[in-house]
Amino acid sequence: MEIIEFLRARVIDEKDRARYASEAHPTDSSWWAFTEPLTQGHYQATRRAFRHIDKHSPRQVIAECAAKTRIINVIEKQGQQLDPINACLVRCLAAPYQDHPDYREEWAPGM
**Dihedral angle, C-alpha 93, 11, 104, 3, nearest 10 °:** -70
Tell me the pLDDT of the chain (111 aa) as tens digits: 699 999 999 999 999 988 887 776 655 544 445 445 555 556 666 666 667 677 778 888 999 999 999 999 999 888 878 899 999 999 999 999 999 999 999 999 876
pLDDT at 23: 76
CB 107 within 8 A of CB 91: yes
pLDDT at 45: 64
d(CA 33, CA 110): 42
Q: Where are the domains of the chain?
A: 3-30+40-107
